[in-house]
Structure 1
Amino acid sequence: MAKTYTYDEVQQHRTQESCWVVLYGNVYDVTSFLPEHPGGSKIILQLAGTDATEEYDPIHPPGTLEESLPAEAKLGPFDESTLPKAEKSPEETDQPPRNAKVDPAQEQADESPDSLEECLNVDDIEALATKKISRKAWGYYFSASDDLISKTFNNRVYSSILMRPRIFVDCTRCDTSTTLLGNQVNVPFFISPAAMARLGHSDGEAGMARACGTYGAMQIISNNASQTPEQIIAESKPGQVFGWQLYVQTERKKSEDMLARIKKLPQVKFICLTLDAPVPGKREHDERTKSGGGVAGNLAVRSAVQQGSASETKPHPEEKTLRLEEKVEKDDSGGGVGKALFAGTAPDLTWKTTLPWLRQHTDLPIVLKGLQTHEDAYIASLHAPQVKGIILSNHGGRAMDTAPPSIHTLLEIRQYCPEILNKLEVFVDGGIRRGTDVVKALALGAKGVGLGRAPLYGNGAAGQAGVERLFEILKAEMETAMRLLGCEKVSELGPQHVNARAVERDIFDGVAAPSMEKLGMWVRSKL
């Protein structure tokens, strides 16, 4: 019979020479794994002597533990009765801390809907999720770089684009279906590769996939998903469309093995090579979310995770956090969650080397994600047909702050090199809050529209049902907008349906880069 370990015994092993952690009620000796951990040893050492289940479970697909550790590393069960009594936090006692600052965002959340049925728009869903998900999940989902200027602009820019409704047009019928990369879908919006869904709800990316099946939507599976691609697509419906996001690793063999694995999944129709975050941005909300810490602090959340529910603690932007979801080593300057997902990500990708390498390892179409200038869009078009599409994105404002919203880049393309819209499928990503936003993007030439944070919040609000409610709202808003514009089909939407003059005033109006002049592409459109 295996020995049962006490709290005091586990606490004695918190060094590089002897590192123990508690996972799922058992004690593990992870000392030998420290130098092999992709994100460095510091991440594990910060959790040494504690119950790391809350940190580990939402971000590691099942089977990871068994693959990473030898059988003898599992020492035995942990005796929870030996835990010291934990002092209740102000939230647990319903008493605010002394001198606590009033947080307007939290006040708004307290007045937000309490059920999915009450949610009437994307903001309602986000507010409901904010009440339900953990501090750490909120910190990761909400955060963006520096002063959140790009994130805020992503949302605000659509309000400066005006609709041009038409009258005396039969609006009885409305069809939101279209094709994306040659695949039939029922709606022109799709789930962008958003990581770590199980931080918000145990349904995770698989629940998102089921919601996509209900609405006939496309989903790009995140390279950093908290479930395996096989689990995510397991219950997919016939004809359901998936893409796989690729962050190329410095150790190329890892990416090559993953591409070979994806090749065995016929539901995955393309590879989405993400390029807008070769290095992590500085996400201060992420860095300010505070972990409960310790074995005692993690027990309640671990129990909730094992029962298939999310933590009910409310987020508070004033607190600091430490996340194991960071796959990179937390630096001494105090980096937060946002830096985590970039462990091993290659910063040396180029047009000249990366696309030929990809051609050797996959015959799937390539979609490039993260283009933020028309120059890069033009260069991408030169690599057709290997490159079938591009996603205009600033990584949700999470990489470079003050980078332009995707609509700016789309308008740049329309102005400087509109022929690209006929050579590649151009998608936009970031800031979508309404069905009218989707319609505006389509009218300006986008083939489809990606949703990042919104599905994560939908999942956080109610798992699969929350994502389905999100899709229901956006689809209904789209249909209303299309009817009022006099458009029966998505293909009928065009620039004549919107007035984007206020936004056009802000787009790039500079001189040609020397490399672009050599390509002979710097000719303004006469449209």
Structure 2
Amino acid sequence: MAKTYTYAEVQQHRSTDSCWVVLYGQVYDVTSFLPSHPGGGKIILQLAGSDATEEYDPIHPPGTLQDSLPVSANLGPFDMTTLPAKEATPLAPTSTTRSPAQTQPEEEPLTSFSDCLNLDDLETLATRRISRKAWAYYYSAGDDLHSKHLNNTVYSRILLRPRIFVDCTRCDTSTTFLGHRVNLPFFVSPAAMARLGNPAGEHGIAQACGKYGALQIISNNASQTPEQIVEGSAPGQIFGWQLYVQNERSKSEAMLQRIHALPQIKFICLTLDAPVPGKREHDERNKNVGASLPVTSSVAQASATSHPQRLEESIESPSFASGGVGNALFAGTAADLTWSSTLPWLAAHTHLPIVLKGLQAHEDAYIASQYAPQVKGIILSNHGGRELDTAPPAIHTLLEIRKFCPEVFGRVEVYVDGGIKRGTDVVKALCLGARGVGLGRAPLFALGAGGVEGVERMLGILRAEVETTMRLLGVERVEELGGRHVNAKAVERDVYEGEGVGRGKEGWWVGSKL
């Protein structure tokens, strides 16, 4: 019969020489795993000698523990009665509101997701329901949040041009993404750690997307495995898979093989706007309330420190010392990707179409279009404002493409991502040439507000707003939307003019295409 360990016994093992943690009522010796932990050894040592279940459970896909540690690492059961009261915290999230700007007036409190009338309402309700750790990770953005806020506000400067005396009884929001029929012109962008907000996780988001016929791009750092997420998906439901290429390419190659076994996943979304983590202060300030990741934080199970001699360097690294879920998730992500090396490598390891995510300049959009047909689409995105603060909103990049290289639209499908709060936002992006529009934070907050039904509420609200906008514009089908339906002059004034201003735009543009 296995020995039962007490809290006092576990507390004696809190060093690099002997490191124990408690997970799901079992004591684990993770000493040998310290050198290869994706987030560095210090993250595990922060939880050494304690019950790490509350921090571990919502972040790691089921089965991660078994895949990461040998059977011998399980030392035996833990006596929960010896755990100090201050550590015996429930898995249920707290209800403290962190953002005064999003606090509903006390006289009209939101008590249910069914009371929510828009995406901001769902975020407000989720803010009250989810843990501080989850809110900080979802809400956070780079530096002073300028890009995040501009993502939201830029759409308000684009005006719609409704037409009258048009039969608006019919409205069809369906379209095609990469040749696949979808019922909605917006999709779920890859956003990590859904189980931080609700146990249903990414699979719950997938269930809601299945009901509405919407595309979901699965995050490389999802809190469930891709197999678990697509399980039980609706007939004809489609997914994309986000890829962060790892320093150890073999890990990415192994993940691609897993993805090939899932017919629901139709393309690979290669994310390029985050080779290193941005400075997300809301997330970093909450490093001591559960941002530590005890074992592995990615379904790709990438390793940032595969050699024991790097342990000390990893522990002292400023990015890991600053804490935060975001920093830990980026461990092992390759920063050496190039046009000339990465796309040929992908061609050798996947037959699936490639969508490049994170383009923020028309020059890169033009280059990407030259790699068609391997590259089928591009997503214009500044990573939700979470990376380089003051980077342009996707609408600026979309207008740049229209201005400097409109031929891109004929070679690849162009999508935008970031800041969408209303159906009018979606329609404005479609009018300016976007094939579809991505939503990142909204599904996460909706899941936190009401689980699967919360995400369904979010999709339903946005669909209804898109339909109303299309009807009032006098448009029956998505493909009829065009530049004549919007006035974007106020935004065009802020769009990049070109490096050659003062010496002739033609000379600059010719040079940029060489």
Shared fold (TM-score greater than 0.5)? Answer: yes
Give the match for residue 220 of structure 2.
223
Pairwise CA distance, 1:260 = 1.1
Residues 145 and 397 of structure 1 are in contact (CA less than 8 Å); yes or no, is this contact kept in structure 2? yes
**Equivalent of residue 188 in structure 1, options 172, 185, 188:** 185
Aligned residues: 487
**Partner SS state of residue 266, structure 1:** coil
Q: Which stretch of structure 1 is more off in the superposition, 111-120 or 3-12?
A: 111-120
**Partner SS state of residue 449, structure 1:** strand
**Equivalent of residue 178 in structure 1, options 170, 175, 195:** 175
**In structure 1, what residue type is equivalent to 2:423?**
G
Residues of 2 paired with 1:88 and 1:354: CA distance?
47
**Partner SS state of residue 58, structure 1:** coil
**Equivalent of residue 266 in structure 2, options 266, 269, 290:** 269
**Partner SS state of residue 322, structure 2:** coil
Give the match for residue 390 of structure 2.
402
Q: Which stretch of structure 1 is more off in the superposition, 193-202 or 29-38?
A: 29-38
Pairwise CA distance, 1:235 = 1.0
**Partner SS state of residue 368, structure 1:** strand
Give the match for residue 348 of structure 1.
336
Q: 1:463 to 1:88 in 2, by over 3 A?
A: closer
Deviation by residue 1:117-156 (Cα, 9 ceiling, x = unmatched): 1000000000111111100000100000000000000000
Residues 368 and 390 of structure 1 are in contact (CA less than 8 Å); yes or no, is this contact kept in structure 2? yes
Residues of 2 paired with 1:339 and 1:405: CA distance?
23
Structure 2, unmatched stretches of 5+, are: 299-303, 305-313
1:504 is the counterpart of 2:501: no
Give the match for residue 100 of structure 2.
104
Deviation by residue 1:84-135 (Cα, 9 ceiling, x = unmatched): 232999xx9x9x9xxxx99624744866411011000000000111111100
**Partner SS state of residue 153, structure 2:** helix
Residues 109 and 131 of structure 1 are in contact (CA less than 8 Å); yes or no, is this contact kept in structure 2? no
Q: Which stretch of structure 1 is more off in the superposition, 419-428 or 54-63?
A: 54-63
Residues 173 and 185 of structure 2 are in contact (CA less than 8 Å); yes or no, is this contact kept in structure 1? yes
Residues of 2 paired with 1:257 and 1:242: CA distance?
19
TM-score (norm 1): 0.88
Residues of 2 paired with 1:109 and 1:50: CA distance?
40
Pairwise CA distance, 1:161 = 0.5
Give the match for residue 42 of structure 2.
42
1:324-473 mapped onto 2 (5 Å cutoff): 324=294, 331-332=317-318, 334-473=322-461
**Equivalent of residue 196 in structure 2, options 184, 196, 199:** 199
Deviation by residue 1:394-451 (Cα, 9 ceiling, x = unmatched): 0000010000000000000001111111111000000000011000000000000000
Q: 1:28 to 1:443 in 2, by over 3 A?
A: same
Give the match for residue 209 of structure 1.
206
Give the match for residue 4 of structure 1.
4
Identity, in percent, stands at 70
Residues of 2 paired with 1:397 and 1:228: CA distance?
26
**Partner SS state of residue 21, structure 2:** strand
1:28 is the counterpart of 2:28: yes
Pairwise CA distance, 1:57 = 1.2
Give the match for residue 313 of structure 1.
none
Residues of 2 paired with 1:292 and 1:338: CA distance?
14
Residues 104 and 110 of structure 2 are in contact (CA less than 8 Å); yes or no, is this contact kept in structure 1? no
Q: Which stretch of structure 1 is more off in the superposition, 77-86 or 337-346?
A: 77-86
**Partner SS state of residue 21, structure 1:** strand
Pairwise CA distance, 1:180 = 0.4
**Partner SS state of residue 270, structure 1:** strand
Give the match for residue 71 of structure 2.
71
Residues of 2 paired with 1:521 and 1:465: CA distance?
52
Pairwise CA distance, 1:7 = 0.9
**In structure 2, what residue type is equivalent to 1:253?**
S
Residues 109 and 130 of structure 1 are in contact (CA less than 8 Å); yes or no, is this contact kept in structure 2? no
Residues 282 and 338 of structure 1 are in contact (CA less than 8 Å); yes or no, is this contact kept in structure 2? no
**Partner SS state of residue 59, structure 1:** coil
1:285 is the counterpart of 2:282: yes
Structure 1, unmatched stretches of 5+, are: 294-320
Q: Which stretch of structure 1 is more off in the superposition, 384-393 or 104-113?
A: 104-113
1:114 is the counterpart of 2:119: no
Give the match for residue 132 of structure 2.
135
1:164 is the counterpart of 2:154: no
Give the match for residue 312 of structure 1.
none
Residues of 2 paired with 1:27 and 1:286: CA distance?
29
Pairwise CA distance, 1:518 = 9.1
Residues 51 and 87 of structure 2 are in contact (CA less than 8 Å); yes or no, is this contact kept in structure 1? no
Q: 1:493 to 1:248 in 2, by over 3 A?
A: same
Deviation by residue 1:193-214 (Cα, 9 ceiling, x = unmatched): 0000000001100011111100
Give the match for residue 296 of structure 1.
none
1:234-249 mapped onto 2 (5 Å cutoff): 234-249=231-246
Q: 1:500 to 1:106 in 2, by over 3 A?
A: closer
Pairwise CA distance, 1:334 = 2.2
**Partner SS state of residue 199, structure 2:** coil
Residues of 2 paired with 1:74 and 1:431: CA distance?
45
Deviation by residue 1:308-351 (Cα, 9 ceiling, x = unmatched): xxxxxxxxxxxxx5455767757445242221111111100000
**In structure 2, what residue type is equivalent to 1:412?**
E
Residues 220 and 242 of structure 2 are in contact (CA less than 8 Å); yes or no, is this contact kept in structure 1? yes
Give the match for residue 309 of structure 2.
none
Residues 132 and 289 of structure 2 are in contact (CA less than 8 Å); yes or no, is this contact kept in structure 1? no
Give the match for residue 493 of structure 1.
481
**Partner SS state of residue 438, structure 2:** strand
Residues of 1 paired with 2:280 and 2:508: CA distance?
38
Residues of 1 paired with 2:98 and 2:478: CA distance?
45
1:19 is the counterpart of 2:19: yes
Residues of 1 paired with 2:131 and 2:293: CA distance?
12
Residues of 2 paired with 1:326 and 1:35: CA distance?
15
Residues of 2 paired with 1:414 and 1:343: CA distance?
36
**In structure 2, what residue type is equivalent to 1:436?**
T
Residues of 2 paired with 1:485 and 1:103: CA distance?
35
Pairwise CA distance, 1:34 = 1.1
Give the match for residue 152 of structure 1.
149
Residues of 2 paired with 1:462 and 1:178: CA distance?
28
Residues of 1 paired with 2:2 and 2:494: CA distance?
67
Residues of 2 paired with 1:347 and 1:512: CA distance?
30
Residues of 2 paired with 1:351 and 1:9: CA distance?
53
